[in-house]
């Protein structure tokens, strides 16, 4: 049953630590809208758990810029059909088995491209933390993801604060202020509305801000 809790980092670290059992492999998924704080929370958990956890963001499965342009999806980058969902599911299945070192991709915002083989996840690492927009989506190629997560969290932030942070992030990566604001309130907001429909599939809703 889904329950809502306040954002308490110490408590969330303790909960994640309970999943990091030596000799086992578990996967914790953190979902939420763009700008909600998924990446920040996931990184904090993994930093606190050290060698007991590895971070594997969903963003490594962005389609490449050339492919997005070929498909005429570049202006909607970040939408549900601009990722390799099947590739992400295949990686999670390998991670779930925990039988070998698995190399995961990472998304580099400075070049706006995914980079393959960037994150090693060793078999002795008990907890994989993965974060992204569409982990709880029960449609298309994303549908198997929820079944591969031992626990799923959904982080929420008040809309205005989320949009402010998202706009600032776009500016930090080189977009002019007016373009950044339009992106946050346009494509990103439409994606956020889709993501919001998945919140009840989480074990825990984290009220941030």
Question: Would you kindly state where each structural domain of the chain is located, as residue ranges?
Answer: 3-207
Task: In whole angstroms, give the CA distance from residue 69 to residue 187.
Answer: 16
Give the 3-state secondary structure of residue 193. helix
- pLDDT band with cut points at 50, 70 and 90 for residue 174: confident
Please report which residue ranges of 20-73 form alpha helices under DSSP H. 38-49, 65-70
Q: Is the pLDDT of residue 90 over 90?
A: yes
Spatial contact of 92 and 130, defined as CB atoms under 8 Å apart: yes
Domain 3-207 fold is: Rossmann fold (3.40.50)
Query: Global pTM?
Result: 0.90
Provide the 8-state DSSP code for 107: E
Average pLDDT over every residue of 194-200: 93
Q: What are phi and psi of 139, to 5 degrees?
A: -155, 145
**CA end-to-end span of the chain:** 23
Residue of 154, 45, 141 lying closest to 92 (CA atoms): 141
Least confident of 38-52, 112-126, 165-179, 185-199: 165-179
pLDDT of residue 182: 67
Q: b/e per residue, 36-48, with b = 16+ CB within 10 A?
A: bbbbebbebbbeb
Q: Is the pLDDT of residue 202 over 90?
A: yes
Spatial contact of 76 and 90, defined as CB atoms under 8 Å apart: no
């Amino acid at each position: 049953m889904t329950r809502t809790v306040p954002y308490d980092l110490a408590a969330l670290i303790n909960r994640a630590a309970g999943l990091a059992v030596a000799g086992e492999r578990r996967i914790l998924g953190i979902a939420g809208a763009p700008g909600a704080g998924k990446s920040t929370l996931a990184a904090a958990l993994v930093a606190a758990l050290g060698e007991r956890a590895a971070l594997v963001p969903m963003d490594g499965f962005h389609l490449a810029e050339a492919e997005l342009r070929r498909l005429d999806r570049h202006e909607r980058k970040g939408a549900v059909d601009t990722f390799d969902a099947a590739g992400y599911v295949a990686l999670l299945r390998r991670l779930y088995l925990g039988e070998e070192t698995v190399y995961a991709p990472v998304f580099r915002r400075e070049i706006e491209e995914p980079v393959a083989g960037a994150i090693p996840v060793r078999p002795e690492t008990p907890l994989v933390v993965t974060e992204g927009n569409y982990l709880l989506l029960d449609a298309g190629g994303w549908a198997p993801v929820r079944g591969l997560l031992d626990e799923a969290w959904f982080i929420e932030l008040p809309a205005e604060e989320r949009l402010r942070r998202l706009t600032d992030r776009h500016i930090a990566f080189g977009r002019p202020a007016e373009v950044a604001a339009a992106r946050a309130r346009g494509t990103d907001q439409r994606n956020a509305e889709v993501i919001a429909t998945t919140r009840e599939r989480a074990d825990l809703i984290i009220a941030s801000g």
